[in-house]
Structure formats: structure tokens, C-alpha cells
Amino acid sequence: MKDIESALAFIPADERSTWVSMAMAVKSELGDSGYPIWDQWSQTAHNYNARSAKAVWKSCKGTGLTIATLFHEAHTCGWKRTEPYTPPSQAQIEARRRDVEARQSIEGRERAKRGQQAAQKADWILGQCQMETHAYLQSKGWPELKGLVWRPDEETNLLCIPMLINGQLSSLQMIDRNGAKKFLTDGITAKAEFLLDAHGTDWWVEGWATGWSLKLCLQALKLPYRIHICFSANNLKRLAHSGFVAADNDTSKTGEKAAIDTGLPYWISEVEGEDINDLYRRVGLFKASQILRKWLQSQRVNQANGST
């Protein structure tokens, strides 16, 4: 293992292709017990990101790269092995694995504790909120609509959206008057959602304003609904399991890709950069609801054709 660590020290970690290759090489030799070695080396990169590092490591499934790739790369960068390489014994690998699992267990308990404290803080903040109009709601087309607003000081007012996991409060999304969004520090957000009504067909959306616009359209069509606000495209992909998705047509295509990945039928605006709230504000409630009605009719036709 010391050979691997010393060899890595000669290799720059800034180039992504090299960085990923080194992850594959280390994992092929040491398995998951090699992550701390590779991650410590990764932190020498100017653009290191812990979340990206974990994702890349998890994605390494065995591609044919071996530790020889790492040693070859190190040699090209000036590393010289002083002694023949001795692969770690199974006992050494198991010992490293146990160390990693023990540390992860401690970190997991600490995260859970911080998550509980964040949930308690979220509950306290909600207790301080008042139902008020808010600049964000006004910007989305609802000057008279009231929401839960927290005023932590005289200059700040934040629209607060509860985030729940299996019905239990886990965090808050807080939106300022300019539309900037943030989550409560240490709050658990993965698989968290906020429901608009709890009956009818499931609909999955990213944002609260998108969900509220969809609700108004479905109400205009007199259709029952259960709208799940998921707060992000990745979270929508984690949660969506039945019904329909109302996707954001963002220029990065992140929203549409997440919708496709759910495997569910999805509505998306024909206008790039637009979500259903943008459509609602651009054409009005009646036209927006009729666009949605036509799309739903097309889905029923597709389902009928698929069943024959």
C-alpha cells in the first residue's frame, strides 16, 4: 500500500481522465478499502470536490485497469520503485476494510445526529413563521397568495417550504425575496418531498412554484391529483415511481434527462428554458390548462394503442 501511496504522490490529480483512471486502478487492487488512499491523493487537485469523488469511486465497477496502470503513470512522472512491488495480503486488505467501515459507521452516526438537530431546528423555524404574502410568490404570478414566511431579522424574510421523508419533517427549503434558494444546514434532503394534496394521480415536479402552477391547471381541468415537490432533478429521479412528471425544460437538459430516467410519461414545455410556471405566466391559466389537457389526451391514446 505504501508503494501505491508513494506512486500516487508523483501523479498530478487535476486531469479528470487520469483522476478517474487512478480510481479504477486503486479499486481493482484494494477494493473499497483503497478509497481513503485515492481520496487523500484526490484532495491535492485544485478542483477537488468530495461529493464528486464519492460518486466516481462508486461508479468504478471493474474496467480492466489494474495497479500496473498506476505504476506506469507514476514512472512517466518520475517515480522510481526502490523494491519489487508486493501486493497487499488479504489480511491487510481486510484490516483496511474494517478501518474504513468503522470510520463510516462513526461518520454515519454523526450525520444522523446532525440531521435530527436540523429537523428540530426546522420545526422551531416553522413555529416562528407567519402566513404572509412574499416577493417570490408575487414574481411567480400570485401577488395575493400567502405562504409560511420566517423573519430571522428585520431585513430578511424567507419563504419556508417543509421537506418531509415518509411524512416526517427533515429539513426546510428557504427562498428569499429574489428567488435564491437554500436548504437548512445538515438537514436531510435526499428523498425529501412536499405534497400538494394527497389524492388522485401522482405528479412529480422539481420546484414549489412549478407544483403550485400544475395544481391550478389540474384544478381547472377538474382532475384529482397528488403533486410531489421534489426540490431537485436528482431527487425527482429518486422518488418518482408512478403517474406523470412535469419536467423543467432547462437549457442543460437536466430536467428532461431526470424525467426520462424515471421511465414515466412526462410533460415538458416546447420552449427551452421554460417550466410549467413560466408557461402559466406566459399564456395564462386557461391556455396552460388546455395545453396540459391535450397532452393528457395524447397519453391516453398512446396507452390505448399500446394495450391493443
Residue whose C-alpha cell reads 414566511 in the numeric block: 149
Distant-in-sequence, close-in-space partners of 128: CB < 8 Å, separation ≥ 6 = 150, 151
- 240: helix, coil or strand? coil
How many angstroms separate the CA atoms of 54 and 47, rounded?
Answer: 14
φ, ψ for residue 52 (rounded to 5)? Answer: -65, -40
Which tens digits make up the pLDDT trace of 46-57? 888 988 999 999
Question: Whole-model pTM?
Answer: 0.69
The reported pLDDT for the residue numbered 4 is 92
The reported pLDDT for the residue numbered 114 is 93
CA quadruple 4, 9, 15, 21: dihedral, nearest 10: 0
Question: How, if at all, do strands 201-205 and 225-229 pair?
Answer: parallel
Residue 115, burial from CB neighbour count under 10 angstroms (0-12, 13-18, 19+): middle
For residue 260, give the C-alpha cell: 426520462
Which tens digits make up the pLDDT trace of 140-152? 999 999 999 999 9
Query: Do residues 240 and 198 lie in contact, with contact meaning Cβ atoms separated by under 8 Å?
Result: no
Taking only the tens of pLDDT, the chain with its 308 residues reads 788 998 999 998 988 889 999 999 999 889 888 999 999 999 998 888 988 999 999 888 766 688 999 999 998 888 887 766 667 677 877 876 787 677 768 877 888 899 999 999 999 999 999 999 999 999 999 999 999 999 999 999 999 999 999 999 999 999 999 999 999 999 999 999 999 987 899 999 999 999 999 999 999 999 999 999 999 999 999 999 999 999 999 999 999 999 999 999 999 999 999 999 999 999 999 999 999 999 999 998 777 676 43
- 228: helix, coil or strand? strand
The reported pLDDT for the residue numbered 85 is 67
How many angstroms separate the CA atoms of 113 and 135, rounded?
Answer: 35
The reported pLDDT for the residue numbered 178 is 95
The reported pLDDT for the residue numbered 307 is 47
How large is the C-alpha radius of gyration of the chain? 25
